């Protein structure tokens, strides 16, 4: 499984993904699930992926091919699309096509369906930041002020902390912390989500990635945060009277 | 959906369930999911239910009928079974039979399967406290010192807090609090779990229910705990540096 989360705030966006991929419980690997596309100052797009690895890798490879194709246009390249909504449509159509192709291949062998779900966030110069959740069928929903975060994969363990602290007015520092703590709760409670993590922070209006960092297993800053959070929770727990 | 949790500690057991039942999203009702069976000082059994209401109600009705049947014996009545393991077997067999009967009825109308999962905890005089999770097929697993709590239904939201604070040495007061906070996180993040709650606390060796309480929507003590926990979490969140 997977856990990916994207937060859309007035100050910017925070995107975070784990890297654990498993084919059965006994075949565990590390694959990045965050893909960044950047024309600094002009356009930034970050895509987080959850689902069948063959679907997500092929989708990302096709999107990249379209970007590099000299004949690509605003209808095929996510770096040329006129709006972020159009980017979401291109990504969604590519995802649905790839999933359909692979499911057809699997169907010949009577296997289950292959599919994936994506989070896509970005901004183009002159446009607003936008954050989408793209379903396996290619349709999408968008984060709003009422619901300023989107999650895919093992989303339940890490939802309570986000529900409690994230609003559109949350600072980028706090949003980054909330995303990491949400991931920390998920890592603790579900083995199918694993380190290292990929983190991207985008400031509103910059149209480039402000911070793009891989947090490795044993990262001292993350480990310290994790321990401090455990201690703070136990401390808070001790103070509650009922 | 549902959230039920049972904790097995050296000091006793805590069992907690919500009461929300839904047939589709637009048909929401309140049904108790906690059933208590008590011969004070001799035997106490608490069963928490998650799954199709027709399965859980019929299972509980059949178990009750067997208890009241003057011809019942240690193989049919959970109040006469010689061990808690035997109780788990009787409950599991009854559950699997009922689910199978109802699924057969549904099958005639090409409907989906009906099933349920139970938590059963209890103690008989002279025996140990035991806590089981009983699967739809009637087989079961048991809580141990390594895994001192069992959950059914929407278990993911409320698992992180249990993972962090519950060990076999946890006091009954703290276990009760942990169960209520675990439920609080679930209630906040998932509409399919709802108040009122049913809480049972059993002290080791007493073979009776020490506390059996319905916590209604708007209960001032629960509301205060919920608000204090939110405040404590936000406070803890503010102190974490990363």
Complex-level ipTM: 0.81
Is residue A242 included in any domain, yes or no?
no
CB-nearest partner of A177 from B174, B221, B240: B240
Q: Is A169 on the interface with B (CB under 8 A)?
A: no
Phi, psi of A4 (to 5 degrees): -130, 145
Identify which has the larger pLDDT, A111 or B87: B87
Identify which has the larger pLDDT, B26 or A154: A154
**Are A131 and A142 a contacting pair, CB within 8 Å?**
yes
- Contacts B201 to A, Cβ<8 Å: none
3-state secondary structure A123-154: EECCCCCEEEEECCCCCEEECCCCCCEEEEEC
Counting as low any pLDDT under 70, the low residues of chain B are 110-111
Is residue A241 included in any domain, yes or no?
no
CB-nearest partner of B234 from A164, A190, A224: A164
Count of residues in chain A:
242
**Are B95 and B138 a contacting pair, CB within 8 Å?**
yes
Is residue A10 over pLDDT 90? yes
pLDDT for res B93: 96
Residue A155, both tokens: 């989303």
Q: Is A62 on the interface with B (CB under 8 A)?
A: no
Total domains, chain B = 1
**Cβ-count burial B20-59 (b if 16+ within 10 Å, e if not):** bbeeeeeeeeeebbbbbbbeeeebbbbbbbbbbbbbbbbb
Count of alpha carbons within 13 angstroms of residue A189, beta-carbon side: 25
Is residue B16 included in any domain, yes or no?
yes
pLDDT for res A134: 96
Least Cα separation, residue B20 to chain A (angstroms): 19
CA angle A222–A227–A230, rounded 5-degree value = 125
CB contact under 8 A, A157 and B160: yes
Count of residues in chain B:
242
- Euclidean distance between CA atoms A158 and B39, whole angstroms: 42
CB contact under 8 A, A234 and B156: no
Q: Is B135 on the interface with A (CB under 8 A)?
A: no
- Euclidean distance between CA atoms A88 and A150, whole angstroms: 14
Closest CA to B170 of B134, B143, B197, B195: B143
- Contacts B160 to A, Cβ<8 Å: 157, 160, 185, 188-189
Q: Is B176 on the interface with A (CB under 8 A)?
A: yes
Least Cα separation, residue B201 to chain A (angstroms): 14
Phi, psi of B121 (to 5 degrees): -130, 150
Residue ranges making up the domain that contains B105: 3-235
**What is the mean pLDDT of the segment spanning A113-123?**
94
Least Cα separation, residue B236 to chain A (angstroms): 5
- Euclidean distance between CA atoms B170 and B215, whole angstroms: 23
- Euclidean distance between CA atoms B73 and A70, whole angstroms: 82
Q: Is the dihedral of CA B28, B34, B37, B40 positive or negative?
A: negative
CB contact under 8 A, A222 and B242: yes
Count of CB contacts below 8 A, A vs B? 101
Cα–Cα distances (Å) from A57 to A34, A38, A64, A68, in that order, read 11, 19, 10, 16
CB contact under 8 A, B242 and A159: no
pLDDT for res B105: 85
Is residue A25 over pLDDT 80? no
Is residue A104 over pLDDT 90? no
Is residue B210 included in any domain, yes or no?
yes
**What is the mean pLDDT of the segment spanning A64-74?**
97
- Contacts A221 to B, Cβ<8 Å: 242
Domain CATH code at residue B39: 3.60.20.10
Is residue B240 included in any domain, yes or no?
no
CB-nearest partner of A185 from B160, B188, B228: B160
Each residue's pLDDT tens digit, A28-58: 889 999 999 999 999 999 999 999 999 999 9
Is residue B241 included in any domain, yes or no?
no
Q: What percent of chain B has pLDDT over 70?
A: 99
- Contacts B222 to A, Cβ<8 Å: 242
- Euclidean distance between CA atoms A171 and A11, whole angstroms: 6
Identify which has the larger pLDDT, A106 or A153: A153
Is residue A135 over pLDDT 80? yes
Is residue A145 included in any domain, yes or no?
yes
**Are B91 and B78 a contacting pair, CB within 8 Å?**
yes
Q: Is B188 on the interface with A (CB under 8 A)?
A: yes
**Are B33 and B48 a contacting pair, CB within 8 Å?**
yes
- Contacts B166 to A, Cβ<8 Å: none
CB contact under 8 A, B160 and A159: no
Least Cα separation, residue A15 to chain B (angstroms): 16
pLDDT for res B110: 66
Is residue A109 included in any domain, yes or no?
yes
CB contact under 8 A, B188 and A160: yes
Q: Is B207 on the interface with A (CB under 8 A)?
A: no
Sheet with A12-17, strands from edge to edge, namely A149-153, A3-8, A12-17, A197-203, A209-215
pLDDT for res B111: 65
3-class DSSP state of A10? coil
For residue B91, what is the DSSP state?
Answer: H
Q: Is A129 on the interface with B (CB under 8 A)?
A: no
pLDDT for res B28: 83
Lowest mean pLDDT among A24-28, A101-105, A146-150, A175-179: A24-28
């Amino acid at each position: 499984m997977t856990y990916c989360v994207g937060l859309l705030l007035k100050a910017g966006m925070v995107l975070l993904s784990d890297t654990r991929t498993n084919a059965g419980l006994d075949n565990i690997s590390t694959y990045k699930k965050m893909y960044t596309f950047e024309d600094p100052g002009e356009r930034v797009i970050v895509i987080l992926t959850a689902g069948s690895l063959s679907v997500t890798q092929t989708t990302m490879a096709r999107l990249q091919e379209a970007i590099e194709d000299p004949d690509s246009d605003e209808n095929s390249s996510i770096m040329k699309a006129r709006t972020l909504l159009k980017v979401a449509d291109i990504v969604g159509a590519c995802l649905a096509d790839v999933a359909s192709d692979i499911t057809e291949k699997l169907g010949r062998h009577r296997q289950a369906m292959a599919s994936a779900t994506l989070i896509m966030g970005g901004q183009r110069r002159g446009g607003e930041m936008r954050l989408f959740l793209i379903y396996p069928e290619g349709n999408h929903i968008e984060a709003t002020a009422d619901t300023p975060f989107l999650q895919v994969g093992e989303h339940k363990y890490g939802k309570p902390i986000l529900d409690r602290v994230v609003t559109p007015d949350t600072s980028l520092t706090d949003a980054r912390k909330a995303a990491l703590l949400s991931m920390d709760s998920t890592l603790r409670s579900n083995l199918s989500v694993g380190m290292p993590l990929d983190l991207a922070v985008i400031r509103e209006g910059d149209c480039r990635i402000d911070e793009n960092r891989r947090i490795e297993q044993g990262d001292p800053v993350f480990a310290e945060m994790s321990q401090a959070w455990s201690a703070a929770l136990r401390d808070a727990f001790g103070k509650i009277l009922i």
